[in-house]
Structure 1
Amino acid sequence: MSFKENNTQAPANQSTSAATECRVYASEGEKLIQYDLNCDDASLIRKWSLTLPAFIQSGCFHPTKPLFYLALSKGGYAAAVPIEEHYLMAFKIESSSTLTQIGKTISLPYRPVHISLDKTGVQVLVAYNVPASLSIHDIAEDGCLTEAFRIPDLTMRKYPHQVKTSPKNDLITICATGQEMIMDSTNFRGAIHVFGYKNGHLTGTLNSVSLNNGLRFSPRHLEFHPYLPLAYVSLERQNELHVYHYDHKGFDPEPLFVHTTLFGGASKSMQLCGTVKIHPNGRYVYAANRTLGWYEENGKKMLAKGGDDIAVFEIDALTGALTPLQRIDSEGIMPRTMSFDTEAKLLIVANQFEAEALEGTEMKHIPQALAVYKINTDGHLELANKYPLSKYQKPMIWMDVLCRNL
C-alpha cells in the first residue's frame, strides 16, 4: 500500500537561530535537574536542580508558551503501591532557565504514569496505570491548571502506559500493556485504545486494536508519523515495532508492518521494548530496547550485554515500511526516555537505572547515564558524549529536551 496520495511534503528541519537555547530536563527521583545542551559539540552542562514533593513520573512542555507541566507520585517508580499522594504541577520557564511554579498543586487520584498536552495546549491528559483510567485537566489562559478535572468513564485494558493526541488533534490514543505485576506472566491482554477528541472532550470510543483478543499483546508507546497517516507502536513484551494505518474513524485492526527490534541477536536477560521516536523528517524511527541489566548464571548476577540499546530503522517514504539499520548501545541500563534537539541532529537518551553485576570475574558498576548521539544524514547514531551520574542515585524515570527562542 502506498500513501503517496495522502503525503504532504515532508517538513524541512528548522534552523536554530542565535537566540535559541536548548535545555535538557531530567529526573533523579524527586529531583529535577536542568542541563544546558550545546548543539554544536553535543555537550551537556549541569546548571541547577530542584527538589519536588514526590518522584517525578512524567513531564511535558506547552507547544507555544514557556510553560512546563510535571506529574509526581510518592509511590516512586512502582506500578501500584498503597500511597495516596500524587500531584500535577504547572511551572513558568523563566528566561534565566529557572522555573517558577504557577497556580496550585493539583492532587491526583492515582499514580500518573504519563502526561501529555493536546496539540492546542489547552488540555493536560493524564494516564494512570492502576486502576486503568484517564483524567483531563483544563489549562487557563495564564497557564495555571484548573482545580476541577474530568475522569471519563472508560473501559480499558490493564496498565495504560501512554496517552497521546493525533497530529490533527481529533484522536486520543492510550497504549495499555495489559501486564500484571508478575513480570513473567504470559496471560496479559493489552490494547491500543482510540477515542474521538474535540474541543477538550472525548467524543466516544472509536475502536481498540487488540490482536488475538489482546493475548500477549503489549503496546507501550506510540508515535504518529509527521506526514503519513501511520502510527508506530512498540510492543513491550514482544520486542516488536508495529505500523498501523489510521484516519478520523480510528485505527485499522491489523498492522501493515511488523518488525523485531532485536534484529542481530538478543541478550540473555529479559527484553522489554520501550520508547519510540520518529525523526521530524519522517525518514527514521528509533526504538529503545531494555533489559534488567543482568541475568542469573550459577547463582551469580552476570552482566547482560547487548540488550540495552537503541534500534534504528529507515522508513519507506511511500509505504511506511521499516528497514533495520543499526543497534547501538545506550551506554547504561534500561533506556527509558529519549528526545531530539531542535534540529534533530542529536538524540539524547536517559538510562533509568544503575546496576552492579559480574563481567567475567570482576564486579562492574554501571551508572545511570545520559548519552548524547549525533544523528548522521543516513539516520545512523554516533555516540558523542556520555554523562554518568554518581553512585546510588534514584531512578531517572523521565527526561526531555526543550529548544525554544526566548
Structure 2
Amino acid sequence: MKKTFRVLFLAAVIPTIALANTSSTSPPIEAHLLYASVGEKLLGYSIDPDNASLTYLSETLAPANVQFAVKNNAGDILYVVSSNAGNGTLGAKGDTHVLSSYRIDLKTGELKQFGAAIALPERPINVGLDHLNHFAVVAYNQSATLSVHPINEDGSVSPAVAQHQVPQAGIFTHQVTFTPGDKTVIALARGNDAVANVPDQPGSVNTFTIDEQGHLSKLLTDSIETGIGPRHLAYHPSKPWVYVSMERGSKLYMYPLESNGTLAAKPAFRKETLQNKANLQTTRQRGGVIQINPNGQYLYVTNRADATVEQDGKQVSAGGENNVAVYKIDARTGEPRLIQIIDGQGIEGRTMKVDPSGKLLVVANQKTLWVKDGKTLKKVRSNLAIFRIKQDGKLEFVRKYEMDDEKKALLWMDI
C-alpha cells in the first residue's frame, strides 16, 4: 500500500522516526486512533500523544468524497457522510450522497463498512449524534434542512424518519449537534454575504426538540446581526457555556446554555479572533472550528483564508490569516481571553481536534496552494499539523504530515 503522507518536523524538538504502513497482523495499537479524509479516502492513523507523532494504519474508500464523519461514544463505530457534489451554494449537485456506518477495529484501526448504506437526497455537510446513540442527524447546506436517521441495535443506520414538517435549519446550514443531555438539537446556519442586488442573508441559530421517534419540532430561531454568520460550536465540558465560531465576521461568541436547551438570546461575550483586524476586509477571510481542552480551561479557534491570485501560471495565496487563536477560559464567568495566535502551518484549517489526553492539538489544513516566499513561490501542501499543548494552554508546533494527493482536499479529521 502506498504511503499517504510525508512528515516535516522541528529537528531540534523531536528526532526523525520511521513511518511505515501497518498490516492487520501488526500488534495492537494502544495509542488513540485518528481518522482523516482526502477525497473519498478515509485514512487511519495511531496517534502517540507523548511523542507527538502519527503512524499510518489503513486506507478505506467511501462511496464518494467524504464530507464529514463522527464516532459514537464507545469509539468503535464511525458514521460517514459522503457526496460527489461540489462545495458551496454554486457547486455541482452531484448524484451520489450517502450515509454509511463503519466498524472500527480498535486494535488495528481498520474500518469495515456494515449495514445498509443510506442514500441521501443531496450533499450532506455535517452529521451529529445524540449521546445515547439513538439518532444520527444530517445537515444539508443547499436546502437548509435536516434529516433524522434512527440507529439500529447493531449500530447501523436506518433511512430518514418522515417528518411532520420539513425541519428548516437556516440559510447555508453548516453544523448540527445535540445539546448536553440531548434536550434539544441545535443547527447553525452561516447565512450569505450581500452580492450584487442580493442583500445580506442572515446567519442563525436554530433549535429543535426531538421526540422518541425522531420527529423534529422547531423551538426557536435566533438571527445573527448583519455580516456575521455561525459555522461551528463547542460545549464546555462542565459548565452551561456554548462557544460559537462566526465564519462570517471572524468572531468568537459565548452564549449561556439555558435550562430548556436553547442558547441565551444574546451572547455574554463577543471576541475577535484575527491577529490583524484589517484582514476582516481580506477576501475569503473566515472563522473556522472550535476545540475546547478536556480540562475546560483553554479554547482553540482556527482562522482561514484561501483566496488566490494568478502568478506565473500558478494559483497563489492572496494573503490573510491561517492560524490558531488560543483563549484561556475564565473559570467563573466563562469569558474567553486571548493568550496566543500561532501559525496553523498550512492553508485553511477546516477541522482540528484536541486528543483525549489534552496533550496535543491536530490541525487538518485542507488545501494545497502556492504562497509567496520573498521573491519566490513555494508550495504549501495540505497536511496534518501537530501542536503540543503546554501547561499554560499555549501551543508549540512540532511537525506536520503532508498529503500526497494535491488535487483532493483534506476535508475532515477527528480523533
Q: TM-score range by the shorter chain?
A: 0.7 to 0.9
Shift of 1:281: 1.4
Specify the code of the residue in structure 1 equivalent to 2:252.
Answer: L
Tell me the TM-score normalised to structure 2 length.
Answer: 0.85
Alignment partner of 1:260 is 2:260? no
Equivalent residues of 1:54, 1:76 under 8 A apart: no
| Distance of aligned partners of 1:182 and 1:335 in 2 relative to their CA distance in 1, 3 Å threshold | farther
Instruction: Measure the CA separation in 1 of the matches of 2:224 and 2:194.
Output: 22
Shift of 1:68: 1.0
Alignment partner of 1:349 is 2:359? no
Tell me the TM-score normalised to structure 1 length.
Answer: 0.87
Specify the code of the residue in structure 2 equivalent to 1:251.
Answer: L
Aligned to 1:392: 406
Match of residue 66, structure 2, among 56, 75, 96: 56
Query: Structure 1 unaligned runs (5+)?
Result: 1-17, 402-406
Q: How many residues align?
A: 382
For CA contacts below 8 A with separation 6 or more, give which structure has more relative contact order.
1
Aligned to 1:7: none
Shift of 1:360: 2.8
The 3-state SS of whatever aligns with 1:205 is strand
User: Could you report, residue by residue, the CA deviation over 1:2-44 in whole angstroms, capped at 9, with x for unpaired residues?
Assistant: xxxxxxxxxxxxxxxx984311111110111111111110111
Alignment partner of 1:138 is 2:112? no
* Equivalence map 1:71-90=2 (5 Å): 71-79=81-89, 80-90=91-101
Match of residue 248, structure 1, among 259, 263, 267: 259
Aligned to 2:120: 108
Aligned to 1:47: 57
| Distance of aligned partners of 1:117 and 1:180 in 2 relative to their CA distance in 1, 3 Å threshold | same
User: Could you report, residue by residue, the CA deviation over 1:262-306 in whole angstroms, capped at 9, with x for unpaired residues?
Assistant: 145555553100111111111111111000154679999654556
Instruction: Measure the CA separation in 2 of the matches of 1:183 and 1:240.
Output: 25
Alignment partner of 1:154 is 2:164? no
Aligned to 2:329: 315
Equivalent residues of 1:160, 1:176 under 8 A apart: yes
Specify the code of the residue in structure 2 equivalent to 1:64.
Answer: A
User: Could you report, residue by residue, the CA deviation over 1:351-390 in whole angstroms, capped at 9, with x for unpaired residues?
Assistant: 0100023333212111001001111111101111211122
Aligned to 2:17: none
Aligned to 2:182: 169
Alignment partner of 1:120 is 2:132? yes
User: Could you report, residue by residue, the CA deviation over 1:201-255 in whole angstroms, capped at 9, with x for unpaired residues?
Assistant: 356322222134xx32301111111122111001111100011112233222111
Alignment partner of 1:285 is 2:319? no
Q: Give the CA RMSD over aligned residues.
A: 2.6
Instruction: Measure the CA separation in 2 of the matches of 1:300 and 1:142.
Output: 49
| Distance of aligned partners of 1:216 and 1:299 in 2 relative to their CA distance in 1, 3 Å threshold | farther
Aligned to 1:369: 383
Alignment partner of 1:224 is 2:238? no
Specify the code of the residue in structure 2 equivalent to 1:234.
Answer: S
